Structure 1
Amino acid sequence: MLSLIKRAGTINTISHNSSKKLLCSLYSYSTTTTSTSKIEPLDILIVGGGPAGLSLLSSLISSDKLNNLNYKLVESNNLENQIQKYDDLGRYDNRIISITPKNLDYLTTKINLPLNFDKITKFNGITIFNGSDSSTMSEHKPRVDLDTESYMCEIQNLVKANYSFIKEKNASAESKNPNCLLQETKVLNISKSQDNYPLVTLSNGVTYKPKLLIGCDGFNSSVKKYMNYSSIGWNYDSFGVVGNLKLKYPSLGSNLRGWQTFLTTGPLAHLPLEGDRATMVWSCDNAMSEFFAKKLTNGEVLASLINCAFVLNRLDYEYYLKKIMKLYSTDIVNEEDVNKLVEEMNTRVEQESETLSKVNTDNSQDEMLYMDEYYPPIVESVDLTTVGRFPLKMFHLDNYSKDRMVLIGDACHNTHPLAGQGLNMGLEDIKELIKQLEKAMDLGIDIGNNELVLKKYFENRYPENSVMLMGTDFLFKLFAIDEPVVHKITNIGMNFVNSMDTLKKWMSFRVSGKN
């Protein structure tokens, strides 16, 4: 959900019905190879060893119908070194995603990945606030309570589980592909043979000629660039700021929830981990994200701002945000002034919490439980070593496949993280592609045939991905409109949705990845 996205090449932007078309930059490719490197035939070549690419490779290995094929995965990094760094952290990594129950079941039951469940947290719902309203009344903020079910999991937990699974299977005597993982190896060139097979030249001096080339190498995919399809998409001119939180009190284990508030500066998500730990994703503009990720020297400041964003009204929250950013705008920061402001913010949150509890309950017992039930746990501090940022964009390729080539995951779609569905969409892509490849094997069809195999994968996934991408994009833009009339409409809409059990149930099913 949250790896840094680095721009490579040139993105050409053209107008199209008030939208922008993003066209992938291209390499120079020839129709035939001129390389003198050795050409080796292959059934499947996967480019990209992130969570999507590794999960796809594990899916091939675990499939009785596909594991006899000859396949390899190319990854430019050293995965073992990455995993060792993760093991040495001694804390949660900051790249944490939500996984739907259906996808977790696929990973653990269908593939049988050895995920570390001590670092996976289940939560049973998410509450969404409209924090862009300027109302100063101490009452319920407009909200929607969804009974979703999801699991918080570090990306490196998934990478490590896949790597361990692949390594174990490769070491077995029955393995048909003992050396299927090519680490620290880059794609140098993609061309086409005279009989229309892809020719992929690698930095290890080998050129592979696969029946099927699969791009799992993210937004800057070399396979996507070679396929040369247009796309729809745009940059949000904002960043996602991630970081790990320490809570004042541990969350209630039986009723863990995720929390999200839509602010005029962008949505802020407060998501549970085990015990007194949580994680955040805060969407904000360049200046604000740079302030959080590079200038802040006190984790309690960011913690207090998070609490203000959820508990206080918009005017108070924005007042404190501007005040704290002003304190850090000088070359020498007055820590005494910073500490005083943090104390003031904490006092205001306590006062407002007490007022909210009294106004919205009928007795002292309910009053004591009100904030625990209706608002996220208070954040005590933020581990600034885990704070990072990444640019946000929406992107959807017009097509995912052509003869002997196909794309999955971030190589063909990127979404705003507010719905937490980025990797889930990639896992759904994997399941559908595996399904179509297994059907092809049953029927004796060439796995690289676009019309009979790969196009069916695209046709089944494109509509589903489009709904999620455009729905998420609409929500982000709707709450970003800083107009009182729009705020009132969204307030009415959220309260209406929250009163409609049938509609909430449908939304919960969609977010949880259920049919």
Structure 2
Amino acid sequence: MNHRITQAFDVCIVGGGIVGTALAASLSSSPFTAHLKVALVEAGNLYSEPEIRPASFSNRVASVTPASMRLLNRIGAWDRIPADRKKAYTQMKVWDASGNGAIAFNAPMTHSASSIGWIIENDWLKSSLAQSLSSSVTVFNSSVVAGIESPAGSGSDWPVISVNSDKGNGPTIQLKSRLLVGADGVNSLVRKYAGIESIGWDYPQKAVAATLEIEGVEGNRNDVAYQRFLPTGPIALLPLAENKSSLVWSASPAIAAKLLSLSAEDFAIFVDVAFRNPIEDLTYLLSRIQPDGSLPKDLDLKAEAVWGQTRLETANTFKIGVPPSNTSLPRVVGVAEKSRAAFPLRFYLSDRYVSDHRVALVGDAAHTVHPLAGQGLNLGLLDVATLTNVIEEGVQAGADIGNIHTLQGYAAERFAPNLGMMMAIDSIGKLFRAESDPVVWARSFGLNLVNTLPGFKNLAMKAASTL
């Protein structure tokens, strides 16, 4: 190589998103690893502050489990998030739009966990973590990785990372690192450098996200998360504040485009229909949306929606796919301006999390999962906790923290649980997209059976929050 190595580090983390910054903060806050020189390379602006407007919320949010909360608390980030920007939810109600299956989860009222989780905007998570970094972390902000090489062409040598500052327009800085961590997302450059394969697929769906204004919440407290499984994908309503909720609606690209083209008023009605009405109503009304997002003049959307719900309330016949009788859904009364957007949905898993190139992968660089269970970020934060423990143990034993033998402990602890959770989420999604009568009956029977077993439900929640 022609350029001089300008800086050497014990750990270089490529990717300053939530997971990468959490790892840097975790290492810098641990008494066993605080002395390590850590580099954090971020292409964007790590220090951008969230816009502080009480009535305004971002459409990019995460569900944070008690296990993730404990990690954020340990590294000093949790208390940096304002109380009104981390909304606890204590119940989760789920039901099938094509059958009569339903299940409800309640938080265990214990000292350690009085909530199922918290809904927090990504911007606040990133900001709180950036503020938690100690002086032992050198941040290369707004810097682009131009290349990664091994000086002698051997994977056992310390990798050299060429970084261009000023969003790629500045001078090149070269970093040499004992351990290189890829936290750089689904298209990870670090993973490619290490020769690690990623296996998976893009779902034929997009997630439509929006911030909604609501009214009529259960018990006058907006602390319930709702999810209805539609044949086209799940729709979820997640609490943000007393009168605000976040929407995540998984649908085909064609339906997603239609939903984005609607006026805010019509979109709000469609969300209510998607949660309340028989699936036939939603299918019919979606078919009436014109290419420009308008609706035919002969269609009174609000009247159609109300008629469908009234028909259910007065029917004496068996009701299929309606909200459970103990569920009082809030009404959507508004959509935050410019909050609607659609995001691709993916399933990808790296075939290894570590390599003898002195590389470890965390977060989306290692695994990307469908958001229906809200576990994507939590899996990444559990990666952070485990990799921190492995590095701590390596430091205490006097081991080389970049050596494959040291890193194997991380891969052994995280690969199987992550794979199990990912496969379970993928299988649930496929199960609820099936519409044949035997499958609908079987899944409804299973949901209703599990709903009568509080011990089993508690175990399921514990597994999802601690893995």
**TM-score, normalising length: structure 2:** 0.89
CA distance in 2, matches of 1:120, 1:253: 18
> What do the CA deviations read for 1:52-108 (whole angstroms, capped 9, x no partner)?
11111111111111111111101111233x425x34695111101100012112212
Other structure's SS at 1:273 match: strand
CA distance in 1, matches of 2:245, 2:34: 39
Aligned equivalent of 1:17: none
How big is the shift at 1:245? 1.0
Decide which of 450, 458, 468 is 2:411's aligned counterpart. 458
1:132 equivalenced with 2:82 (yes/no): no
1:438 equivalenced with 2:392 (yes/no): yes
CA distance in 1, matches of 2:192, 2:452: 47
Decide which of 142, 146, 153 is 2:101's aligned counterpart. 142
Aligned equivalent of 1:416: 370
Which structure 2 residues correspond to residues 311-460 of structure 1 after superposition, within 5 A? 311-323=276-288, 325=289, 328-329=290-291, 331=292, 333=294, 340-349=300-309, 351-352=310-311, 354-355=313-314, 373-403=326-356, 404-451=358-405, 453-460=406-413
CA distance in 1, matches of 2:37, 2:220: 46
**Counterpart of 1:142 in structure 2: which amino acid?**
G
Decide which of 228, 248, 270 is 2:237's aligned counterpart. 270
**Contact 1:251 / 1:275 at 8 angstroms: preserved in 2?**
no
- Using the TM superposition, name which of 414-423 and 441-450 deviates more: 441-450
**Counterpart of 1:188 in structure 2: which amino acid?**
A
| Structure 1 residue runs without a partner (length 5+) | 1-33, 134-140, 171-175, 361-369
How big is the shift at 1:251? 4.8
Given the superposition, is the C-alpha separation of residues 250 and 198 from structure 1 closer, same or farther in structure 2, using an over 3 Å criterion?
A: same
How big is the shift at 1:232? 2.6
**Counterpart of 2:3 in structure 1: which amino acid?**
T
Decide which of 177, 181, 191 is 2:139's aligned counterpart. 181
Given the superposition, is the C-alpha separation of residues 72 and 459 from structure 1 closer, same or farther in structure 2, using an over 3 Å criterion?
A: same
Other structure's SS at 1:217 match: coil
**Contact 2:349 / 2:368 at 8 angstroms: preserved in 1?**
yes
CA distance in 1, matches of 2:105, 2:62: 18
How big is the shift at 1:348? 3.2
**Contact 1:242 / 1:279 at 8 angstroms: preserved in 2?**
yes
**TM-score, normalising length: structure 1:** 0.81
- Using the TM superposition, name which of 190-199 and 69-78 deviates more: 190-199
> What do the CA deviations read for 1:165-200 (whole angstroms, capped 9, x no partner)?
22xx33xxxxx45xx111111100111022621011
**Contact 1:199 / 1:210 at 8 angstroms: preserved in 2?**
yes
1:260 equivalenced with 2:219 (yes/no): no
**Counterpart of 1:424 in structure 2: which amino acid?**
N
Superposed structure 1 runs of 4+ greater than 6 Å apart: 356-360
Aligned equivalent of 2:183: 216
How big is the shift at 1:459? 0.6
> What do the CA deviations read for 1:302-358 (whole angstroms, capped 9, x no partner)?
2222222222222222222222x2xx22x59468656x2123313433x25744899
Which structure 2 residues correspond to residues 153-192 of structure 1 after superposition, within 5 A? 153-166=120-133, 169-170=134-135, 176-177=136-137, 180-192=138-150
Aligned residues: 445
Aligned equivalent of 1:123: 89
**Contact 2:7 / 2:175 at 8 angstroms: preserved in 1?**
yes
Decide which of 197, 208, 213 is 2:158's aligned counterpart. 197
Which structure 2 residues correspond to residues 88-99 of structure 1 after superposition, within 5 A? 91-99=56-64
Other structure's SS at 2:342 match: strand
**Counterpart of 1:128 in structure 2: which amino acid?**
V
Aligned equivalent of 2:168: none
Aligned equivalent of 1:367: none
How big is the shift at 1:375? 4.0
How big is the shift at 1:483? 1.7
1:77 equivalenced with 2:44 (yes/no): yes
The percentage of aligned residue pairs carrying the same residue is: 29
> What do the CA deviations read for 1:428-456 (whole angstroms, capped 9, x no partner)?
000000001011111111111111x2110
How big is the shift at 1:381? 2.4
How big is the shift at 1:405? 0.9
CA distance in 1, matches of 2:75, 2:316: 47
**Contact 1:300 / 1:381 at 8 angstroms: preserved in 2?**
yes
Aligned equivalent of 1:136: none
Other structure's SS at 2:186 match: coil
Decide which of 185, 197, 201 is 1:234's aligned counterpart. 201
**Contact 2:222 / 2:242 at 8 angstroms: preserved in 1?**
no
Aligned equivalent of 2:21: 54
**Contact 1:126 / 1:145 at 8 angstroms: preserved in 2?**
yes
**Counterpart of 1:320 in structure 2: which amino acid?**
L
**Counterpart of 1:79 in structure 2: which amino acid?**
L
> What do the CA deviations read for 1:238-290 (whole angstroms, capped 9, x no partner)?
11111111113345355721111111111111111211111111111111111
Given the superposition, is the C-alpha separation of residues 514 and 475 from structure 1 closer, same or farther in structure 2, using an over 3 Å criterion?
A: same
How big is the shift at 1:121? 0.6
Aligned equivalent of 1:364: none
Given the superposition, is the C-alpha separation of residues 275 and 307 from structure 1 closer, same or farther in structure 2, using an over 3 Å criterion?
A: same
Given the superposition, is the C-alpha separation of residues 269 and 146 from structure 1 closer, same or farther in structure 2, using an over 3 Å criterion?
A: same
**Contact 1:300 / 1:342 at 8 angstroms: preserved in 2?**
no
Other structure's SS at 1:374 match: coil
Other structure's SS at 1:69 match: coil
**Contact 1:311 / 1:352 at 8 angstroms: preserved in 2?**
no
Aligned equivalent of 1:106: 71
How big is the shift at 1:411? 0.3
Given the superposition, is the C-alpha separation of residues 93 and 372 from structure 1 closer, same or farther in structure 2, using an over 3 Å criterion?
A: farther
How big is the shift at 1:163? 1.7
CA distance in 2, matches of 1:392, 1:142: 25
- Using the TM superposition, name which of 218-227 and 483-492 deviates more: 483-492
**Counterpart of 1:475 in structure 2: which amino acid?**
I
Given the superposition, is the C-alpha separation of residues 384 and 210 from structure 1 closer, same or farther in structure 2, using an over 3 Å criterion?
A: same
**Counterpart of 2:390 in structure 1: which amino acid?**
Q
**Contact 2:207 / 2:248 at 8 angstroms: preserved in 1?**
yes
**Contact 1:124 / 1:255 at 8 angstroms: preserved in 2?**
no
CA distance in 2, matches of 1:244, 1:251: 19
How big is the shift at 1:230? 2.0
Which structure 2 residues correspond to residues 290-301 of structure 1 after superposition, within 5 A? 290-293=257-260, 295-296=261-262, 298-301=263-266
How big is the shift at 1:43? 0.8
